A and B are shown apart, each in its own frame.
Chain A
Amino acid sequence: MDTIGLYRTTVGKKVVMAVTGAGLLLYVVVHMLGNLTVFSGPDAINGYGHWLREIGAVWPTRVALLACVTLHFVAAYQLTAKARKARGRYEHRRRVQGSYAARTMRWGGVIIALFVVYHLLDLTVGWLNPNGIPGEIHANVVADFQHWYVVLAYAIAVLALGFHIRHGVWSAIQTLGVTTSRVIGLGVAVAICAGFLSVPFAVFTGLVS
């Protein structure tokens, strides 16, 4: 196994992005499913959060997430820098393939990262949350999504995530050496968006309170 040698190549950097991206995706999926417990009432989601702390899942997850994000970001940055240098600049340019998701990976990623910072200050630390009491997950969430601008912010972020995943999943599989249909990425992205978005909309429309 020649990890350094692999990482030196552009393909290797992409492999790192794919693997860390997959880790992040796994977290997002679990998180999304966890969020759905909100529909089973306050006790369910609070209990779920409590249980996660009890079994000691929180810190190892945070460490892993941080590692993934860092590697993911560093590789993305290095690839972007190389591409910037390599790519040609035209007076007149038209895209043919035109996958919006594929072209917005970098900015999409940055939007997601900014959102996560906000999100942590909101629901984890509580500073930006109208309720803001750690542990009262249900109350915090409900307090948040009374406001249209919070819903909007979450919706934008989740859509950005969706786009990122739509291309990311297909791209990661391709990077790891298998070509599949692009539909898989679309399916995963739609499921994740729907799952995440259901919560703020349910709260905003009064379905969950």
Chain B
Amino acid sequence: MYFTEGSPIADQRVPAGPIETRWDRRRFSARLVNPANRRNRSVIVVGTGLAGGSAAATLGELGYQVKSFCYQDSPRRAHSIAAQGGINAAKNYRNDGDSVHRLFYDTVKGGDFRSRESNVHRLAQVSVEIIDQCVAQGVPFAREYGGLLDTRSFGGAQVSRTFYARGQTGQQLLLGAYQALERQVAAGRVEMHPRTEMLDLIVVDGRARGIVVRDLVSGAVSTHFADAVVLATGGYGNVFHLSTNAKGCNATAIWRAHRRGALFANPCFTQIHPTCIPISGDHQSKLTLMSESLRNDGRVWVPRDRNDTRAPNDIPEADRDYFLERMYPAFGNLVPRDIASRAAKNISDEKRGVYLDFADAIARLGALAVEQRYGNLFEMYQRITGDDPYRTPMRIYPAVHYTMGGLWVDYDLRSTIPGLFVIGEANFSDHGANRLGASALMQGLADGYFVLPGVIGDYLADAPFGPVDDSHPMVADTVSEVRGRVKTLLAVDGDRTVESFHRELGRLMWDECGMERDEAGLRKALERIPELREEFWQRVKVPGTGERLNQELEKAGRVADFFELAELMCVDALHRRESCGGHFRSESQTEDGEALRDDANFSYVAAWEYTGVGRPPVLHKEELVFEHVTPSTRSYA
């Protein structure tokens, strides 16, 4: 028995009526907090990425008292900074047939019909405002000679709706949000706590009222209280050890909230990105993404003969297999990620990778134009591999990149714990079983600038919720649990490093719960993970003390949570006996090897309830209703 089933989720707080006006109506029906009272309402925002940074800045602008947290030394370094390719918006500046409805449609389809229509529609609507907001902040998007914004295409779309800033879109968007945030810091509306890690959520009388944090420099464990808590702590791809995520990315904040009662939705929906730089050796510490935008002009191929050992430039045209163009003539190299990744994996292996070739593009556009579009990505590739992509094709291979799963939220971004809101990659909300390229930045900023500020007032209108302080028994318990954990990690003093455990867990997850999953493998993983977890608590070695900067201790805490989450991911993957989006069960495929959905049995969001370490979680289903897009077999051929 890996899990039990509980009651379905009844209320998603979605307004009824025409989908086009739902968001407007929800905003109108949401209660407001009058400006004078906002000063007395406090909000904790954990995370300063696109979601958290924009939310904290905007809530500050509205007049709330905000406390903002991140584990890096500056909010500007949140992982969003690494996003390269771009951000989608239904601006239709190109007049190529784009519209809010088309973006909505593409996203629901791209997510393989496992997302909530109302949320996605709202996302598409708000996308338009995001671009306006960012341009006004001075985000230096790419422009044409006429001075207007340039766009390009991304996977899963046949229109050109992706706005970009060379290969540094995430950085530029994040700096915009960061600058807005710092403006509020200067104005005294936001209190910034960098190098501070959230280790637990404080729930008092059924409401999220604060967090327990550890100051990473002094090691001090302390509490912060507020009327509401917002988690914007990003994704959990680092469960796999090797991923394109930053080294510090972790699941601790959402996992601790899950342990306190927030449901965790679709944990097994992870995205594997097709174009990353292949692993070069055992020392590998992370994987580097080569932006999806490269597939606009780069052509993906493998040698026809798997055993061809010739250098790529020596392989003649006739001996190359441009397999994406061959298999998916309509979308060609721009098929969605899940599809490209699996095709690449089936056709090649981790060591050799596949080729991403720019020879045609250079011949067609000239090296200069290619450099202008992708110059910094090419440089990055060359720095890492020592190869020059202007001359030899890039070698690429799929890698874990994004997690569609996350804490379950309703239409108002509320988790199942009152007062706990979850935004950005940390929630599960908008991408279903597969996220389209350039849509994560869109979602983060939509949540932070517009959606959360539009609805949080409705919750805060009920505040104040009564005083809490460190003496409250619930608070004291939570703090002492956190202190106990830190102490235990230091006390084990075993003989294995945190890194070695993380590597082993990651390998296991990649093999058994990676791009392709099957029942036997998942069962195997579900045996092994608890053993490994036990071993971790017996044998881990964390040197130093908890009273000052101790990066090994930080890592240990994060890996400890990855074990628990990994187990839930496998349970989720095992229970979902269908293939959809990034979740591919080998038992469930069409004749030509495409994902085979089972809408009759699995058209729901799987939201899991925590019951204890190693105890079977409880499954709560949110049935998905499709009124505007009819689920069909995804076809990109």
Direct A/B contact, Cβ within 8 angstroms:
no
